[in-house]
Each structure stands twice: as C-alpha cells, then as structure tokens.
Amino acid sequence: MIYVTRKTHFNAAHRLHNPEKSDEWNQQTFGKCNNHNWHGHNYVLEVTVAGEPDRDTGYVIDLGKLKTIIKKKILDPCDHKNLNLEVPFLENVIPTSENLVKAFYDQLKTDIEKAASNNSRLYSVKLFETERNIAEYCPDRAR
Amino acid sequence: MIYVTRKTHFNAAHRLHNPEKSDEWNQQTFGKCNNHNWHGHNYVLEVTVAGEPDRDTGYVIDLGKLKTIIKKKILDPCDHKNLNLEVPFLENVIPTSENLVKAFYDQLKTDIEKAASNNSRLYSVKLFETERNIAEYCPDRAR
Amino acid sequence: MIYVTRKTHFNAAHRLHNPEKSDEWNQQTFGKCNNHNWHGHNYVLEVTVAGEPDRDTGYVIDLGKLKTIIKKKILDPCDHKNLNLEVPFLENVIPTSENLVKAFYDQLKTDIEKAASNNSRLYSVKLFETERNIAEYCPDRAR
Amino acid sequence: MIYVTRKTHFNAAHRLHNPEKSDEWNQQTFGKCNNHNWHGHNYVLEVTVAGEPDRDTGYVIDLGKLKTIIKKKILDPCDHKNLNLEVPFLENVIPTSENLVKAFYDQLKTDIEKAASNNSRLYSVKLFETERNIAEYCPDRAR
Amino acid sequence: MIYVTRKTHFNAAHRLHNPEKSDEWNQQTFGKCNNHNWHGHNYVLEVTVAGEPDRDTGYVIDLGKLKTIIKKKILDPCDHKNLNLEVPFLENVIPTSENLVKAFYDQLKTDIEKAASNNSRLYSVKLFETERNIAEYCPDRAR
Amino acid sequence: MIYVTRKTHFNAAHRLHNPEKSDEWNQQTFGKCNNHNWHGHNYVLEVTVAGEPDRDTGYVIDLGKLKTIIKKKILDPCDHKNLNLEVPFLENVIPTSENLVKAFYDQLKTDIEKAASNNSRLYSVKLFETERNIAEYCPDRAR
C-alpha cells in the first residue's frame, strides 16, 4: 500500500458559532474565535490517497488530476470566502477544523476514487488551521 | 550594528476595499481580495531592532520586553479581529500588507526605543500575509 | 474518527547518559550526545487526540484546554530546564526522544481524556528533537 | 510501540518516461514531467523505524547508525545523480515518487533491521518530491 | 520605502560546467555538481520590489500582476526544463545561483517597473537552490 | 554585488549569566534563561558573503569551501557543547545571540575572505536561537 499526498492552501474568513445556542453560550465556549466580525486563516490542506501504483504509469493517482479535483471541489468554493456564509456544502456546519476535514472528505471522495488507479481510495484529509492547530479525518485507519 | 528580530503571529479577517471608490473599481482592482464577506490570514510578523548590545546584559533589547510591546500594541488589538472594522489605529487604512507594515511601525516605534539599550532603533517591520506574499517597512535602510 | 493535533515547543538541556554503566560505555554508546557539560535543543512537541466531534461545539477537544494541559504537565516542568536533573517525572529516565515521548504520554493521558468529548483518547505524542530526529509514541496504532 | 524518524535530503535529475510506450503516450501521460532533457528535485526523505527502546540505551535505533545506512544505501547512489540512468537499483523503474519509496524501502530494510534493537522493524519510507507532492510506503500499516 | 516580496518556485535540471575549460578542470572545480548526466533542484525564488504604496490601492505593486510577470519571464521558460540546454536567456551562462539571480533580475526589471506604482523599482532577486544554499542580487543596496 | 548564503545548524547548551553581577541581578535580568542547570537550543546559522562572481566558476565563493570553514571555525568548537564553558573563543562572552553573532563573525572573516573570489567580503552572520528569536551582525550595511 502506497500513500500519495498533495498539499494545497487557501485563505478564508470564519467564526465559531452555534446558531442554536445563545450568544452567551457561544462567547463562553468559543471565546475570541466567536468574534462576530469574523477572523481568518491561511488554511493548508493535505489530501492523501492510498493504493497500488499503476504498472504503466507508476502512479497511484496522477497528482495533476488530484490537484484539479481539489481545486474544483474545495479551493474554488472556499478560497477568499467566508466559510460560515458562502460555501454551499458547509451550510449548517460549525466550521471547526474537525468539521471541515469531515466535510472536505465527503466532497472529495467520489471524484478522487474515479481518477485513481484500480482500488485506490481516499485515505485522509488533513487541515492546518494554523501551524499549531491541525485536524485529520481518516476513517479507514485502524484505531 | 546588530539586528535583533522577534517573530510573532496573529489571525485576522480583512478585505481590500477603498470606500472612496465605486464597487466596480474595487472589484476590478482587488478581485477576490475585495469579497464583501471578508477573508482572512494567519499573519506572521517580524520586528527588527538595530543597535549595540548593552555591556552588562549583552542585549540590544530584552526580547521578553519586545514580545510584551508587540503583544500590547499589535497582537491585542489585531488578533482574531477584523482589520477593516475593529482596529482603532487602522481606521481609514486600506489593509494591504504595505499599509499594515507602515501602521505597525508607527505603533511600535516609541515603546520599543524606550525599552532598548542606548541609541537602539526600530529598524524594520516585516509582515507575511501568506508564505508567498510579504511586505517590509524599513525607513532607514539606504536604498 | 478525527485526529486533532496541537503543536508546541520548549527549550531544554540534556545529555544521554546511563548512570548504571561506565563512562567508557557511555562515551562509546552516545558519543558527543554524552558530553558531560550538556547540550540542548529546541524541542517541538505534537500531541494528537482522537475522537468524535461534540455535536454542540464541533470539537474533539477544545484546543485552548489542550494547550493549557500541555503547558501545565510538560512545558512548565521542562522549558528552560535540564531534563536529566530538574524534571521530577523524568527521574531515572535516559532522556532519549524515545523515552521522552513515552514519559510525556503518561503525563498527559489522564488530564486530556477528562477534558475531551465523549470517548476521545490521547492518540499520539510526537517529539522533534531537531528537524531531522523525531520520535512518536502511539500505543493504539495497529502496527 | 515507538516510531523513530530520520529526515535526510538529496538532489537528483529525473524524467517520467515508460520506455515500453510511445513518445506520444509518454508526453500525454506525464506532460512536462516527461521533458527529454530532464528536470530535477531537492528530495526530502524520511525513514521511520518502529520498535521498543533498548533498556540500556533508550534507543529503538541509534540515529547515527540509521544516518550511516541511509547514506550508504540511498544518498551515495542517488545524490547529484540521474535517477533514470545512474542508479543500479532503479534500473527498469519509472522514477515516480510511488515507485521510489518502494525501491528505497527494499534497499534499506535488511541493514536497518540488523542495526535496530530487538524486533524493531523498518516501518515507513516517505519521500517529498516537492513540499507539495509526497509519497509514503508503509506495508505493515493496517489500512 | 516599502519592500514587497513574492515567493514562487520551479523545478529544473542543471549541471555546473564551463565549456571553455577541460573536463578535468570542471570535475575538480565543481565536483558532483559537474555530473554529466545532470542533477536538479526545487528552486525557490523571491522577487522584491521597493517603492511607495499607491494612494488609491495601497499597493507598491499588484502582487497578482507580479506573479504573472514572474510566470511569463522566469517560470514558463525554466520550470521542468534543463537550465543548461533549454533556456534562451541563459545561453552561455554557467547556471550557478549567483549567475541565475543576475540573469533573472535582468529578465524581470523592465516588465516589473512598468507594472509597479510611481518610481517603484525591482530591488532584489533571491534564489534558494536548496534550503541551505542561497544567492541574492540586489544592485542598489548600499554595501 | 551578489550575496551568497550558507545555512547550517548546531545544538548547544548555554545560560545567560554575567559573572561580574550578583545572582539576584542575573535572575532578575535573565529570568528562566539564567537557570544554573543550563538549557539549550538548536541553533541555525546563516553566513552571507558579498562579492562579484568569478568569471570562470560563476562563484562568489565555493559553497563547499564555505561549508568547510564554518564547520572548522564554528560547528566543531560549538556543536553539542556548552557555550559558557567549552568554547575558547567565547571565554568572557555572555552568550546572548547578539554577542554570538559578533564572535562568530570575527572567527570566520579571515578564512572566508581568503577563500572567496576577488574582493568578496564576509557580509553578515545571522543566528536563529529559536525560530522566533534572531540576531544578525552586518557591520558594512548602511544603517
């Protein structure tokens, strides 16, 4: 099994806010991340595909195609956008890094597995909100 | 002459927008950076002080004091904030990196030069909007 | 399963030395890392918690709380300290990176699992002694 | 189980080209990576060994010995070389990152497992072709 | 005076070889960098423009335009190419980093100074051949 | 004028302590950096030489020779050492980054200027004590 990773980046505004809860709850729970005038990040995104290299190409997946899929499914809707207000697939999602990696994984899975060589699978989506705060979704990893 | 640099970071939302111009002009000039719902960055800030080390301490400036000044004058007002709406010293400033480094320099100069050893001066303020886009203000550097 | 990582750093002195062995054995085994006048590192520490995000907060663990636990349990006792002489929980531990990640994991586990959402667990402790030398303890990972 | 990683680097030229296929197929499949005058990379290589630390040394593997093995088996044959023309163990291998990590793993396994402490095993070989394009071979990881 | 920097990257093959000298001289002078089968690098390029921000835009130069100029004048001719054989403006240039930064500066100067705001100038071209080997051309800097 | 930089690294222990002052003064001035059991750092060192490239080689200085000089004059005496106790050229120097860059510059200047091409000069010595705390000595830079 070989793991191939493509690293990309985008910039966006967000705030952590649960609209089903009171302002007091939100302020207490999320602190400065709840600022109603937003803040933002340079997000770094790593997408990993696992599989066997194709015999003719030596590729698990053509990284050019992977780059194109990530651009279409994640960067175009998210880059220089407000993650709470402007991204259709994030509607009703509190944009914590945990929730974002799960949503990004679901966005990417079908297209990537069509483009990869036989039986390769989307393995992991990892998001660096900052260099210090990181989340990863990796549903098939044995605990 | 010895140059001492302290590197810090903060996250903020902004948009590039000149309120004296039309929406069309702004959209055409600033493109996706003009998005009216904001976007944001993990800003990295480097502040450089130039001078001679003090004989007793070996310090041009105590980096702990420099850190405290940067926190009070820049990070507290800017971190997790909206640079267009919430920072008093950025009122009427289009928050390009060029304008930010000039404004940050003016914010920092007096306090830093009081805390530094004899005749040391604030030399440069450098801001990484992203790893790829960088601005620096350095008024005393010979061209 | 979602993996959340917090990255922190501290500086410390250490030497590799097994007091149950002769000086010759130590010098031959550990070379310059055995220097009796110590050397030191800027350690980078990554702590990863695995679990399901809480429905209300979207958090596996509040990274602010995780940061506070790491500070109390690891950074306060270790930062700017001598790992051989001054850290109670490292008594009788040869401070190789391998031994440090195991000791740090044991220090962190209880407090982190109390602060995380339901059933989340401390998954991994990773330590960069330098950018080139890295150790990780991850007891639940299937080999 | 503890995982110890050594990070190294080398520079090399290569091109992606399958000699059993036509020039048209190669150009269409590999694009600019097929350039017949070659291109090159600063490769970064991470080698991870998994095991239990030795009681006397605290080492899973002496990183100095690991460094020496990587130098002899990978860096000496590959550094400042043409991966398509000059590396005996890469003969008939299309030098994609996927194929390189598999070949490097096979080159390293025997020597590393001899040098490591009891029952330690070569766990993973990870190669950064660029900061953005990464491949890893990790045969024992549960999917 | 404000300094604005755009960071980009490209991959290329090269060798250090002076065709006016003997093979022995070249081998002795350039060592493994003279390998006749080439080697290569992930070059990182930083281009810095110095000037006063425009009052309406807050820009010394629109970084989108700077990116386009660097792509057209440097990346398109150099990326995934052989610097000794395939780049017209490097004909008869030994592709050391020192010579490359001078050649890149000359390639970029006219277009950048047309695109920048009043009186802004190309200030510096800096090239990272590796993370450890760096050259910069900066003709107007006072020594 | 072209600037060529070589980046290297070493690990060392130190403490900030002025032996001519009282323990109270030292503790108050240097805080945790004064810890009498030492602490340490992964120092990163950048040495920059300025000059004109040689016509035959395209080099301001052969970076292999520069690497050898830095190893002999700085890394061999300082790596895995205690900077307060074991480095002859740092005797009576309080090892702040400011004092280290000045001392390193004086150590390097003669050998580097002998090895460089005509009229090239040691331009700058820059030391990263951590990623966040940096000092540079650059005596010929116009303020």
How far does E53 lie from chain D, in Å, by closest CA?
A: 32
- The answer for residues whose C-beta is within 8 angstroms of residue C45's C-beta and 6 or more apart is C7, C8, C9, C10, C70, C74, C104, C125, C126, C127, C128
What pLDDT score does E94 carry? 98
* A59–D132 C-beta distance less than 8 A: no
Please give the residue of chain E at the shortest CA–CA distance from F44.
E132
Average pLDDT, chain D: 96
* C21–D50 C-beta distance less than 8 A: no
Partners of D126 in the beta sheet? D46, D136
What pLDDT score does E117 carry? 81
Structure tokens at C46: 């990554």
Question: Along the 143 residues of chain C, how does pLDDT read in single tens digits?
Answer: 899 999 999 999 999 999 999 999 999 999 999 999 999 999 999 999 999 999 999 999 999 999 999 999 999 999 999 999 999 999 999 999 999 999 999 999 999 999 998 789 999 999 999 999 999 999 988 65
CATH of the domain at E96: 3.30.479.10
Taking one residue from C and the other from F, the number of pairs with CB-CB distance under 8 angstroms is: 71
Helix, strand, coil % in chain C, rounded to nearest 5? 35, 30, 35
* E50–B132 C-beta distance less than 8 A: no
* C97–D4 C-beta distance less than 8 A: yes
Distance CA E11, CA D42 (A): 9
- Reported pTM: 0.97
How far does E75 lie from chain F, in Å, by closest CA?
A: 22
Average pLDDT over residues E73-96: 98
Query: To which residue do tokens 């979704």 refer?
Result: A137
- The answer for residues whose C-beta is within 8 angstroms of residue E103's C-beta and 6 or more apart is E89, E90, E93
Q: How many CA within 13 A on the CB side of residue D11? A: 23
> What's the pLDDT band for D84 if we cut at 50, 70, 90?
very high
pLDDT tens, B4-50?
A: 999 999 999 999 999 999 999 999 999 999 999 999 999 999 999 99
How far does E46 lie from chain F, in Å, by closest CA?
A: 14
A36 is catalytic: no
What pLDDT score does A117 carry? 80
Pair type for strands E81-82 and E2-14:
parallel
Q: Would F23 be classed as within a structural domain? A: no
For residue E131, what is the DSSP state?
S
Pair D49, D60: CB distance under 8 Å: yes
Q: Would F32 be classed as within a structural domain? A: no
Asked if pLDDT for residue E125 goes beyond 70, the answer is yes
What pLDDT score does E142 carry? 67
Average pLDDT over residues E63-78: 98
Rounded percentage of chain E residues whose pLDDT exceeds 90: 94
Q: Would F37 be classed as within a structural domain? A: no
Number of structural domains, chain D? Answer: 1
pLDDT tens, F49-77?
A: 999 999 999 999 999 999 999 999 999 99
Consecutive 10-residue averages of pLDDT for chain A (143 residues): 97 98 98 98 98 96 97 98 98 98 98 91 97 96 68
Residue F120: name the closest of F26, F54, F57 by CA.
Answer: F54
Q: Would A143 be classed as within a structural domain? A: no
Q: Which helix (H) or strand (E) holds D51?
A: strand D39-51
Query: To which residue do tokens 């500066």 refer?
Result: E105
Query: To which residue do tokens 């222990």 refer?
Result: F13
How many C-beta atoms surround the C-beta of residue A103 within 10 A? 19
Pair C102, F57: CB distance under 8 Å: no
Residues in chain E closer than 8 A to F142 (CB atoms): 142-143
Residue of D50, D56, D63 with shortest CB distance to C143: D50
Pair A16, C59: CB distance under 8 Å: no
For residue B87, what is the DSSP state?
-
* C134–D1 C-beta distance less than 8 A: no
Rounded percentage of chain D residues whose pLDDT exceeds 90: 94
Asked if pLDDT for residue D143 goes beyond 70, the answer is no
Long-range contacts of A27-33 (CB under 8 A, 24+ apart): A29/C56, A29/C57, A30/C57, A31/C64, A32/B79, A32/B80, A33/B80
What pLDDT score does A106 carry? 98
Question: Along the 143 residues of chain F, how does pLDDT read in single tens digits?
Answer: 899 999 999 999 999 999 999 999 999 999 999 999 999 999 999 999 999 999 999 999 999 999 999 999 999 999 999 999 999 999 999 999 999 999 999 999 999 999 998 789 999 999 999 999 999 999 988 65
Q: Would C27 be classed as within a structural domain? A: no
Q: Would D34 be classed as within a structural domain? A: no
For chain B, the residues whose C-beta falls within 8 A of a C-beta of chain F are 1-8, 50, 53, 56-60, 63-64, 140-142
* A59–D98 C-beta distance less than 8 A: yes
Residues in chain A closer than 8 A to B32 (CB atoms): 79-80
How far does B128 lie from chain F, in Å, by closest CA?
A: 14
Chains E and A touch (3+ CB pairs under 8 A): no
Please give the residue of chain C at the shortest CA–CA distance from D122.
C143
Determine the straight-line distance between the first and last CA of chain B, rounded to whole angstroms: 18
For residue C73, what is the DSSP state?
I
Residues in chain F closer than 8 A to E96 (CB atoms): 53, 57-59
User: D9, D39, D52, D80: which is the annotated catalytic residue?
Assistant: D80
Parent domain of B130: 2-14+43-137
Class of residue F129 by CB neighbours under 10 A (exposed 0-12, middle 13-18, buried 19+):
buried
What pLDDT score does C89 carry? 98
For residue B52, what is the DSSP state?
P
Grouping H, G, I as helix, E, B as strand and the rest as coil, residue E115 is: helix
Q: How many CA within 13 A on the CB side of residue A24? A: 0
For chain D, the residues whose C-beta falls within 8 A of a C-beta of chain E are 9, 11-14, 32-33, 35, 37-42, 79-82, 85-86, 130-131
3-class SS string, chain A: CEEEEEEEEEEEEECCCCCCCCHHHHHHHHHHHHCCCCEEEEEEEEEEEEECCCCCCCCCCCHHHHHHHHHHHHHHHHCCEECCCCCHHHCCCCCCHHHHHHHHHHHHHHHHHHHCCCCCEEEEEEEECCCCEEEEECCCCCC
Q: Would E132 be classed as within a structural domain? A: yes
Q: Which ipTM value was assigned to this complex?
A: 0.95
Q: Would D47 be classed as within a structural domain? A: yes
- Write out the DSSP string of E33-54: GG-TT-EEEEEEEEEEEEEPPP
> What's the pLDDT band for B111 if we cut at 50, 70, 90?
very high
Class of residue D78 by CB neighbours under 10 A (exposed 0-12, middle 13-18, buried 19+):
buried
What pLDDT score does B143 carry? 53
Rounded percentage of chain C residues whose pLDDT exceeds 90: 94
Query: To which residue do tokens 């400036």 refer?
Result: B61
